[in-house]
Structure 1
Amino acid sequence: MDERTRQTTPEYTTSALFFIFINMLWIFGVVWVNWGLEAVAIAGVVVNHLITLLDNRINGEKG
């Protein structure tokens, strides 16, 4: 492929993270209304653990 005709792709990281934040906000709000703050805290800990596992898998173990 000719490098002179190749266009750069747009960066969507910031917008994707913003929409993930918005979706998590309303999901946690619905969980809070239905089952209480304890369920939101547990869901937050679970999500944090899953993000850590994903980070370790992508970047490798540190330490």
Structure 2
Amino acid sequence: MRDPELPDGMPDFFTAAIMFAGINLMWIFFVVWVMYGLVPVLVLAVLINHFITRLDIRLNSQRA
């Protein structure tokens, strides 16, 4: 997913950033699961999904 506005010599770190965020979320979910159980992990996952969806809607409405 290359941004067309980036200069040609500039690397695109989008994939690396998404992988890094996924790995961090995995260990954070594991720690929350060990400390508090599965229900808070599911609630946290739903909240993160909600915020990502709202961000996507906002970014798509600004482009239109």
Instruction: Give me the TM-score of the superposition, normalised by structure 2.
Output: 0.80
Q: 2:25 corresponds to which residue?
A: 24
Q: Which residue of 2 aligns with 1:37?
A: 38
Residue by residue over 1:27-48, the C-alpha shift from the partner in whole angstroms, topping out at 9 and shown as x without a partner, is 0001100110001000000000
For residues 50 and 7 of structure 1, the distance between their equivalents in structure 2, rounded to whole angstroms, comes to 32
Identity of aligned residues (%): 45
Distance 1:42 1:21 in 2: 17
> Residue type matched to 2:38 in 1?
L
For residues 16 and 7 of structure 1, the distance between their equivalents in structure 2, rounded to whole angstroms, comes to 19
Higher relative contact order (CA 8 A, sep 6+): 2
TM-score by length of 1: 0.81
Structure 2: segments with no counterpart, 5+ residues: 1-6
Larger Rg: 1
